[in-house]
Structures are given as structure tokens and as C-alpha cells.
């Protein structure tokens, strides 16, 4: 998703990226959020991880960044370990 892609989106759209950080151009996203082209965005992943604390994206009130740890629960990790042992 770059500036050209954001320009094609409906004004006020909301972007959610839970795929890969490199899918979204961070500078283009910043510009789209600042200009109002996008109403908001939520990122589960960022271009560079971890995102730098001084990244301009983090200054925006219409952006949510969450840690990419969906598989981080105790139950999921235990199941992953069991599957690994079973595979051996």
C-alpha cells in the first residue's frame, strides 16, 4: 500500500494491516492519515519491528499499533511444543 493505493481508496477509509509490515509504506500511511484521506489505521505489524519510538506514525491520534503476538498465549505455545514433539 503506497500513496497511489491510498489515493484510490474512499475518502475516510480505515486501513487494518495484520499481514506483513512491508505491505504498507509507512511514510505514505503517515501522509494519508495526516491529510484525512484515511480516517484511521490499525497495525498489528510495522515495516520495521519493533517500530522506533520516535517514528512519526506514533504521533498520530488516528493510528493504533498493537504487538504482533497473536500466538503468544500459554495455550498456543504449549500446543506448538506438543506438535513439534509429535513431528519428531
Task: List helix spans (H) across the chain.
Answer: 3-8, 26-35, 74-87
Active site residue 77: no
Separation CA 33–CA 29 (nearest Å) = 6
Separation CA 63–CA 81 (nearest Å) = 35
Query: From the candidates 27, 34, 68, 77, which is the catalytic residue?
Result: 68
Query: From the candidates 20, 27, 34, 77, which is the catalytic residue?
Result: 20
Query: From the candidates 27, 47, 49, 77, which is the catalytic residue?
Result: 49
Catalytic center residues: 20, 49, 68
Amino acid at each position: 500500500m503506497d500513496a497511489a493505493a491510498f489515493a484510490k481508496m474512499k475518502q475516510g477509509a480505515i486501513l487494518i494491516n495484520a499481514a506483513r509490515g512491508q505491505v504498507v509504506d509507512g511514510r505514505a500511511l503517515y501522509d494519508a492519515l495526516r491529510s484525512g484521506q484515511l480516517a484511521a489505521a490499525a497495525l498489528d505489524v510495522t515495516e520495521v519491528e519493533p517500530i522506533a519510538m520516535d517514528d512519526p506514525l506514533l504521533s498520530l491520534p488516528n493510528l493504533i499499533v498493537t504487538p504482533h503476538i497473536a500466538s503468544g498465549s500459554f495455550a498456543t505455545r504449549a500446543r506448538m511444543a506438543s506438535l513439534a514433539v509429535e513431528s519428531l
